[in-house]
Amino acid sequence: MNITIYKKFEPIYIIGHEHSDIDSIVSSKILCNIFNDAGIKAYYAILDSDYEIDEYNKSMIDECMDYGPVIVKRKDIEKYNWFLVDHNDVSQSIKIKTNVIGCIDHHINSNQLKNIMLSNMCSNALFIYNIFKKDYNFSKEQKYQIFLAFLCDSTYGKSSKYRIEDGVIADELGFGHDYEKYFKKFFKTTNLSKGVKKALYTSYKKYNFDKIEIESSSINAYGIKGLKKYKNLISKIESFFGIWKDYKSNKTYVIFNYKSKIKEFKYDFIASRATTILNDVLKYIKEGDNNE
């Protein structure tokens, strides 16, 4: 990838999606390092609202980096040139397309942007590593950041979006293949101590596909205690799908409320929202709209 074409846009603000996870954060920080190393002034940034980090991702971030992004006020978005990472749907970050100069992502194409590099890798940070590994000298610290981002986004190799090819590239980082060791060290279930309602918007995302807006949340749990209440809550939220991942049985339950109809999906594995679930949700929407 020839990033010198972006020199004319400096300073560049590199940003991941709202409700940040470690893959989004590492992607923005690493790409910022790569741009600056190439003599292109860049910052990794967040906006001044909706960029909170949950306890699980924070523990992994604290393990591998000092996190100090530039904070941009939402009212000032149009003043800067933006490069998106780990999302290609502007509704998940800056809301406008006008100043987006580039994007590197591994999710379904929202068809909002022209200047985009897409991959089916399980981790966006790992995708960035694979793009630049021949031209940029990644430090051991950066490789560890990428490795943890890869582990989290692939759910330690348990997610349906994990591929053997991803594991081969991750092995190049030099931290071994014992993902279960890291799972035991870092993985945290969603905090349900204050009830399911309080946790309803955990891992929240908003999507816009061809003017169809849908929202989503995801809960990690051991068992299905609270799942019935979760379903009842989602049945009252239009255009919303909730994901309940049960790591006790390694099953995934999805409840989708669309046009006041409830559709449920069940997977006998840990299903990826970014690939498996979202594809099934969009297919369901398309089939339903075609039958109207």
Question: What is the DSSP secondary structure assignment for residue 272, as one 8-state letter?
Answer: -
User: Average pLDDT in the 30-41 region?
Assistant: 98
The CA-atom distances, in angstroms, between 260 and each of 214, 235, 237 are: 13, 8, 9
**Token duo for residue 73:** 């006020």
The reported pLDDT for the residue numbered 291 is 59
What confidence tens digit (pLDDT) does each residue in 2-25 have? 899 999 999 999 999 999 999 999
The reported pLDDT for the residue numbered 18 is 95
Q: Which amino acid is at 247?
A: Y
The CA-atom distances, in angstroms, between 153 and each of 26, 145, 166, 181 are: 11, 12, 11, 16
Average pLDDT, the chain: 95
Is pLDDT above 90 for 98?
Answer: no
What confidence tens digit (pLDDT) does each residue in 132-181 have? 999 999 999 999 999 999 999 999 999 999 999 999 999 999 999 999 99
Yes or no: say if 57 and 20 are a contact pair by the CB < 8 Å rule.
yes
| Per-residue pLDDT band at 292 (split at 50, 70, 90) | low
Of the CA atoms within 13 Å of residue 2, those in its CB half-sphere come to 2
Helix (H) or strand (E) segment spanning residue 148: helix 140-153
Of the CA atoms within 13 Å of residue 239, those in its CB half-sphere come to 10
The reported pLDDT for the residue numbered 73 is 97
pTM of the model: 0.94
The CA-atom distances, in angstroms, between 175 and each of 110, 172, 229, 245, 284 are: 34, 8, 40, 27, 40
